Structure 1
Amino acid sequence: MIFLRFPSFALALLAIAPALGAQGARTVTSPDGATTVRVETGDRVTWSVARRGRVLIAPSPISLTLDGGRVLGRGARLRGADTRQLRDSVRPVAPTKSAIVRGRWNELDLRFDGGYALEVRAYDAGVAWRWTLALGDSVTVVAEQATFDVRGATPGWVGLDSTFMTHYEPAYRLVALDTLRGGRLVLLPLLVPLEGGPKIAITESNLESYPGMYLVSGRDSSAGGPALKGIFPAFALADSARNDRDVVVTKRAPWLARIAGRRALPWRVVIIADEDRALLENQLVYELAPPSRLADVSWIRPGKVSWDWWNALNVRGVPFRAGVNTATYEYYIDFAARHGIPYIILDEGWYTLGDLLTQAPGVDVAEIARYGATKNVGVILWTTWHTLDTQMTPALDQFQRWGVKGIKVDFMQRDDQAVVDFYWRTAREAAARHLLVDFHGAHKPAGLNRAWPNVLTFEGVRGLEWNKWSEEVTPRHTMILPFTRMLAGPMDFTPGAMLNAQPRDFRVVFDRPMSMGTRARQLAMYVVYESPLQMLADSPSEYEREPDAMDFLSSVPVTWDETRALDAKLAEYAVVARRSGAAWFVGAMTDSSARTLPLSLSFLGDGRWTMDLWADGPNADRNGMDFTRSARTVTRADTLQLRLAPGGGFVARLRPASR
């Protein structure tokens, strides 16, 4: 047995053998024997996937076109092929599902004449492939052919946009795959239920110095061609800043990226789930991401954040004029300190837009950070990406001198190579100054948070902020997200609204926003949704009026040692149990339908447990703010019946009973 060791990473190479298969074809099967990937080589390279004998993805061509017209994967001459059985063990710095991520997969390496290879992995929970290059100093990638001929597909859960300039904040809808043309771009992950079979999700990992992948229909008018194909934003030769945040590409190159000639390209990932609840436990994107590049991670501190922007700094009962000023932020710090919340954010308004080195009148960041330090509360500063890009070194140096703990970087709205490079450069430069990072206006996570674990979360979701201007963050929408967007990684949905209404009573009020659904549902999001930097979106004044809710919000963790998806149905409901240390937390959410769900406590350890419960009140179907709090002693032999109102929720905290 050979062991290769990396920081927070151990890889065990259990066996190596020549790949088996007919002439021109090689296969690799998942450790549980259920899933087989078949790669055929020759005039072209194709890949296909079968699960328990059923074809999920029919032979789909893949290739990489380089400058000079060279096409890797066409007329490919196979030089060698090996399969390996591998295991690894990773301890995430900010675990969203488990303290240890244990990986087990079988791998097929196909080496071709001409200095390139195809790496294919089969896991129990999905498959992935990527190209690896050994072609000299640099190459230009003109095009990538990544196709997915999905068989037996029903309409997929699709987030759409019409341009590569996107906040990645879609409303997910059921869409027939063959209609994804004419400028309809699929944002990843895409989730496709198969007729009578599993669900598959397509996404990517290890996205570095390369454009992000989108999907469109690969079929022409004669219904020929694969069901789906990848499409990528070409390199930006020129762009134009309309303001401090919107930087629009005005001229694109006839190629995708210029990259190092010796490197691996991003993984093309297909997650496979026989049960809906398995989607909530899948960590394949993280497993495929590159290992941490930080030797010292002791300074990285996940936690909750008191956020100012969503609630428009609406505080009351104070002797000062509330707004973007030092007195208001010190009030937020006092609130955070009282409730054990380790951070506050200074969102838009603290600096003169376009210049991170000039503070707005009435704001003294150094004083705010100093005051926070006396209360053990750190400060995170918001910035637009374009301004940070032009002032990165002096701005981050200044933040470090002020004692700031992190940055929230907003409005990238692109994932062509240059902007993907910006993400990685920001993560690296922030880490050099011990700054955490929260990316907003961002593409989906694709492995950056493992390589640079100071990157704690990403937006890339139609989150709570949309309640300020729309009626689109519905109970159904928020029940789709755990099965789609959250597959990619941490999700800064920004929950925590204390003004809650059923859909018929919901109103759009920008400066006094509310949520759609119940109070208990907002609390449940802190267990069901994953983000190691988790917002408390409402005003401190609203939270201080709700001591029962704050008891839960003060105690709920943001990182987890163990996750068990107890029951779930896509777009309808989810029941999730998570452990932190000795304590368990349970969160349940439903769509617009009231339902009763059984909760077996068999996941608990032996002995008696104290269970605190926050549930929809008897009138929550009329008034979303109605909830109950209770406590009881339970054991692992108990089963509860959870009665969820329409758009409702439930949370519980379980701790070993004192002896």
Structure 2
Amino acid sequence: MLLTPKNNQMNLKTGILCLICFAGINTQAIDKKYELKSPDKKLSVSILTGDSTTYSVAYKGLNVVLTSAISMKLQNIELGKKVTINKAAASSGKEFNELTLSIKGDYAMVFRVYKEGFAYRFITNIKDSVKVISEQAVFNLLKSPAAFLQETDNYTSWEGPYVKYVSTELIANGKRATTPALFSYHDSGVELVIAESDLFDYPGMYVQKNGDQYNGNWAQYPTKTELGSWGNFVSVVKERAGFLASTTGKRTFPWRIVMVSVDDRDLLNNHLVRKLASPSILKDTSWIKPGKATWEWWHDALLPGADIPSGMPNRNTALYNYYVDFAAENKLEYLMIDAGWSDNYDLTKINPKNDVRGVIKRAKEKNVGVFLWCVGTTLLKDLDKNLDFLASIGAVGIKVDFFDRDDQLAMQWIETIAKEAAKRKLMVNFHGCSKPTGMEKTYPNIVNYEAVRGAESDKWDYTIDPAHHLLMPFIRMLAGPMDYTPGAMRNKTKAAFKPIDPGLPSGQGTRAHELAMFVLYDQPFAMLADSPVEYMKYPDIMQFLSAVPTVYDETKVLAAKIGEYAIVAKRKGEDWYAGAMTNWEPKDLELDLSFLKPGITYTADIYTDGPDAATNAEQYVHQTIEVTNRTKMKVKMAPGGGFAIMIKKSIFKK
């Protein structure tokens, strides 16, 4: 790359950067401007340092983020203010160009531009520990874009519905939202997503409306907590300090990200959060195995017609052995045992109705691993003792629930649990937690996060309809995997759906729409949320659910529009899986299979909406046909509909 001050070009081996000095070089803070471009030259970032530090972002010359200030206030220095540059170093990676500014005061600012977006972070090299009093992260958006936001008035929830605004002018000043947060410019077609990555030992970022711009917002450090809220076992903050974090002075701080896209398809394949995350610290990951699980909680452990008593009062050894047998017979890797197997306040006190050790031993003999649920505060009371206990009884993973916070202390908890669980070869599924920020890359034993308004809400309200299903992949999923828990087999139209709790709940949208979630959604640890007896009624459905992977080698997004529809094809080895979903509007789409290898005939199992699916959402059609890379298929999707396809190489070749 080239480092080129205006009127005086200098060559560096590592990249392209433009530097303009507005004053002579001396030891005082002077204005300096840097231009950093993405490898494809479409995205450019202007960085200005001096008395303050600002950035702006342009896509193909169109300013999409106007001049925006960044800084971080420590107890005795304000990073990004009165900047004196000691060294400006340009470099490039395989997918990005980078600028590192080493600054007087033992810190640096790092800026990166990918084709997918822009990111920056602070790095400190201060001998002593530091307190972060506040941080300034301004996102000064062009004009008044439309917005899709999961709004919140607290620092405890990432499971709300998305609110769509045709203009940010309609949003009340001071309104806060979780990240990722999506902003859309309809006139130019540009989509912006604000996110963060590599979050360790620091509070999570929200965005807050402040006049014509959005500002980063964080929970302050908790100084007084007590157990309360759900089950009286959630750590509830009662008082907070006047600072964000107390931390080591030699560290990197989280990446602040602005993703940029002019094609909704690109959002479904944007992995910038993961790319920016720290690499794995685990040397041996052979024991970490993604997969699907049968699970009792969503359908209240009901097994209508089974030859054993079922329901929540009958969560005993016989019931869980039934789930083990179902998993083994259908090649599901796991059984997820939810709340009730042990005391909520002492997980070593096992419910005497459930010989959990015996269930786990029997499951292991059938090649089924068992995850066990627990409360976060209970687990943390004596983390080493509790994790040793869980490992000793044979669990392969844990579902840790009810954090309901993302201040510095809560983020320390999450990392510590992941780290200590890995020492015992335990996988972790976080629930009641904040959104992912790439920690699953650093600790790959983290196999999923909740932090989404998921299928559980079908029990209580109408919020997670097909429109919601078509928002999550474009917003929440950009942060990382999500445990939506799909698999409803009582599928309902918009007119027929009603929340049910307790009892057997329904899902909104068609049967084919529900199957497509297993392809579209990023979920390395995926639930089959409904009752085993329901799946057993449809061997062809189980043929698909048994085979569909949870992680893939390649993803191709074939068509997509935020909140309206999506078609995605994913490859695992030689096999392909495709899924499509629409919102409550019917949709006719063409599936072009040109991504298949030429000269090979494949066998495709296709699950589409039935002819009457608009009034009977459970109706679907399953057919098996031969296809090649020349095949183009017209597919009709009912309101709330979809389709799912499993494509495997045929023994015949052309």
Give the TM bin, normalised by the shorter chain. Answer: over 0.9
Which residue of the partner structure matches residue 74 of structure 1?
81
- Residue 234 of structure 1 deviates from its aligned partner by 0.1
Counterpart among 273, 276, 281 of residue 293 in structure 1: 281
Asked if the contact 1:177/1:227 (under 8 Å) is kept, the reply is: no
Which residue of the partner structure matches residue 20 of structure 1?
19
Number of residue pairs the alignment of both structures matches:
625
The answer to whether the aligner puts 1:649 opposite 2:632 as a matched pair is no
Counterpart among 201, 205, 215 of residue 197 in structure 2: 205
Counterpart among 528, 533, 545 of residue 536 in structure 1: 528
After superposition, what is the alpha-carbon deviation per residue over 1:604-657, rounded to whole angstroms, capped at 9, x for unaligned?
001211111000000100001000000111111111111000000101111111
Structure 1 unpaired stretches of 5+: 2-12, 88-103, 220-225
Which letter does structure 2 place at the counterpart of 1:495? P
- Residue 152 of structure 1 deviates from its aligned partner by 3.4
Asked if the contact 2:16/2:36 (under 8 Å) is kept, the reply is: no
Which letter does structure 1 place at the counterpart of 2:334? Y
- Residue 14 of structure 1 deviates from its aligned partner by 6.6
Counterpart among 472, 475, 479 of residue 481 in structure 1: 472
- Residue 107 of structure 1 deviates from its aligned partner by 0.1
Asked if the contact 1:244/1:353 (under 8 Å) is kept, the reply is: no
Distance 2:284 2:567 in 1: 36
Which residue of the partner structure matches residue 591 of structure 2?
599
Which residue of the partner structure matches residue 91 of structure 1?
none
Asked if the contact 1:342/1:378 (under 8 Å) is kept, the reply is: yes
- Residue 318 of structure 1 deviates from its aligned partner by 3.5
Distance 1:181-1:385 versus aligned 2 partners, 3 A rule: farther
Distance 1:19-1:577 versus aligned 2 partners, 3 A rule: same
Which residue of the partner structure matches residue 25 of structure 2?
none
Which residue of the partner structure matches residue 281 of structure 1?
269
Distance 1:208 1:552 in 2: 38
Asked if the contact 1:162/1:183 (under 8 Å) is kept, the reply is: no
Counterpart among 547, 566, 575 of residue 539 in structure 2: 547
Which residues in structure 2 correspond to 1:58-137 (within 5 Å)?
Answer: 58-68=66-76, 70-87=77-94, 104-137=95-128
Which letter does structure 2 place at the counterpart of 1:140? K
- Residue 119 of structure 1 deviates from its aligned partner by 0.2
Which residue of the partner structure matches residue 326 of structure 2?
335
The answer to whether the aligner puts 1:580 opposite 2:572 as a matched pair is yes
Distance 1:576 1:185 in 2: 32
- Residue 181 of structure 1 deviates from its aligned partner by 4.8
- Residue 197 of structure 1 deviates from its aligned partner by 3.3
Secondary structure of 1:543's match?
Answer: helix
- Residue 172 of structure 1 deviates from its aligned partner by 3.8
The answer to whether the aligner puts 1:458 opposite 2:449 as a matched pair is yes
Distance 1:621-1:77 versus aligned 2 partners, 3 A rule: same
Which letter does structure 2 place at the counterpart of 1:589? M
Secondary structure of 2:127's match?
Answer: strand
Secondary structure of 1:465's match?
Answer: helix
Which letter does structure 2 place at the counterpart of 1:584? W
Distance 1:112-1:197 versus aligned 2 partners, 3 A rule: same
Distance 1:454 1:247 in 2: 25
Which residue of the partner structure matches residue 307 of structure 1?
295
Distance 1:528 1:637 in 2: 23
Which letter does structure 2 place at the counterpart of 1:563? T
Secondary structure of 2:471's match?
Answer: helix
With structure 1 as the length reference, what TM-score do the two structures score?
Answer: 0.93
Distance 1:367-1:183 versus aligned 2 partners, 3 A rule: farther
Asked if the contact 2:511/2:609 (under 8 Å) is kept, the reply is: yes
The answer to whether the aligner puts 1:240 opposite 2:226 as a matched pair is yes
Which residue of the partner structure matches residue 270 of structure 1?
258
Which residue of the partner structure matches residue 352 of structure 1?
343
Secondary structure of 2:568's match?
Answer: strand
Asked if the contact 1:159/1:173 (under 8 Å) is kept, the reply is: no
Asked if the contact 2:173/2:209 (under 8 Å) is kept, the reply is: no
Which residue of the partner structure matches residue 4 of structure 2?
none
Which residue of the partner structure matches residue 37 of structure 1?
45
Structure 2 unpaired stretches of 5+: 2-11, 23-31
Which letter does structure 2 place at the counterpart of 1:646? P
Asked if the contact 1:207/1:446 (under 8 Å) is kept, the reply is: yes
Asked if the contact 2:175/2:209 (under 8 Å) is kept, the reply is: no
Sequence identity percentage? 39
Cα RMSD between the aligned structures?
1.5
Counterpart among 582, 599, 605 of residue 612 in structure 1: 605
Distance 1:572 1:318 in 2: 39
- Residue 21 of structure 1 deviates from its aligned partner by 3.1
Which residue of the partner structure matches residue 373 of structure 1?
364
Which letter does structure 2 place at the counterpart of 1:41? T
Which residue of the partner structure matches residue 392 of structure 1?
383
Secondary structure of 1:624's match?
Answer: coil
Distance 2:332 2:341 in 1: 21
With structure 2 as the length reference, what TM-score do the two structures score?
Answer: 0.94
Asked if the contact 1:180/1:216 (under 8 Å) is kept, the reply is: no
Which letter does structure 2 place at the counterpart of 1:21? I
The more displaced of 352-361 and 403-412 is 352-361
Asked if the contact 1:467/1:508 (under 8 Å) is kept, the reply is: yes
